[in-house]
Chains A and B, each alone.
Chain A
Amino acid sequence: MNYTIDQLAQLEAEAIYVLRETAAQFENPALLFSGGKDSIVMAWLARKAFWPAKIPFPLVHIDTGHNFPETMTYRDSFVENLGARLIVGSVQASIDAGRVREETGPDASRNMLQTVTLLDTVEEHQYDAALGGGRRDEEKARAKERFFSARDEFGQWDPKNQRPELWNIFNGRKHHGEHFRVFPLSNWTEMDIWMYIQREEIELPNLYFSHKRNVIKRGNALLAECKYVSPQPGELAEEKVVRFRTIGDATCTGAVESDADTLDKIIQEVATARQTERGTRADDQRSETAMEDRKKEGYF
Chain B
Amino acid sequence: MDLLRFTTAGSVDDGKSTLIGRLLYDSKNTFEDQMAAVEASSKKRGDENVNLALLTDGLRAERE
Residues of A within 8 A of B (CB): 6-7, 10-11, 139-141, 143-144, 159-160, 273-276, 279, 288-289, 292
For B60, give the chain A residue with the smallest CB separation. Answer: A289
| A159-B59 contact, Cβ under 8 Å, with A7-B2, A10-B3 | yes
Q: What are 10 A-B contacts with C-beta separation under 8 Å?
A: A140-B56, A141-B59, A143-B56, A143-B58, A159-B61, A160-B61, A275-B31, A279-B33, A288-B37, A289-B58
Closest Cβ of chain B to A11, distance in Å, is: 8
Closest Cβ of chain B to A191, distance in Å, is: 8
Residues of chain B with a CB closer than 8 A to A159's CB:
59-61
Residues of chain A with a CB closer than 8 A to B61's CB:
159-160
Q: A288–B59 contact, CB under 8 A? A: no
Closest Cβ of chain A to B37, distance in Å, is: 7
Closest Cβ of chain B to A102, distance in Å, is: 28
Residues of chain A with a CB closer than 8 A to B60's CB:
159, 289, 292
Residues of chain B with a CB closer than 8 A to A160's CB:
61
Closest Cβ of chain B to A262, distance in Å, is: 21
Residues of chain A with a CB closer than 8 A to B3's CB:
7, 10-11
For B28, give the chain A residue with the smallest CB separation. Answer: A274
Q: A276–B56 contact, CB under 8 A? A: no
Residues of chain B with a CB closer than 8 A to A276's CB:
31, 33-34
> A11–B2 Cα gap in the complex (Å)?
11
> A54–B60 Cα gap in the complex (Å)?
41
> A10–B61 Cα gap in the complex (Å)?
32
For B34, give the chain A residue with the smallest CB separation. Answer: A276
B1 at the interface (CB under 8 A from A): yes
Residues of chain A with a CB closer than 8 A to B18's CB:
none
> A144–B37 Cα gap in the complex (Å)?
18
Question: Count of B residues near A, CB < 8 Å?
Answer: 14
Closest Cβ of chain B to A91, distance in Å, is: 27
Q: B31–A274 contact, CB under 8 A? A: yes
| A144-B59 contact, Cβ under 8 Å, with A7-B1, A7-B2, A7-B3 | yes
Q: B41–A288 contact, CB under 8 A? A: yes
Residues of chain B with a CB closer than 8 A to A140's CB:
56, 58-59
Task: Give the one of B2, B41, B59 with max A CB within 10 A.
Answer: B59
Closest Cβ of chain B to A270, distance in Å, is: 11
> A273–B31 Cα gap in the complex (Å)?
8
For A140, give the chain B residue with the smallest CB separation. Answer: B58
Closest Cβ of chain B to A46, distance in Å, is: 22
Residues of chain A with a CB closer than 8 A to B33's CB:
275-276, 279
B32 at the interface (CB under 8 A from A): yes
Query: B32 contacts which of A7, A139, A141, A274 (Cβ < 8 Å)?
Result: A274
> A141–B59 Cα gap in the complex (Å)?
6
Add 12 more A-B contacts to A7-B1, A276-B31, A289-B60 (CB < 8 A).
A10-B3, A11-B3, A139-B58, A140-B59, A141-B58, A141-B59, A143-B56, A143-B58, A274-B32, A275-B33, A276-B33, A292-B60
Residues of chain B with a CB closer than 8 A to A289's CB:
58-60
> A273–B1 Cα gap in the complex (Å)?
17
For A139, give the chain B residue with the smallest CB separation. Answer: B58
Residues of chain A with a CB closer than 8 A to B32's CB:
274-275
> A292–B61 Cα gap in the complex (Å)?
11
Closest Cβ of chain B to A294, distance in Å, is: 13
Residues of chain B with a CB closer than 8 A to A10's CB:
3
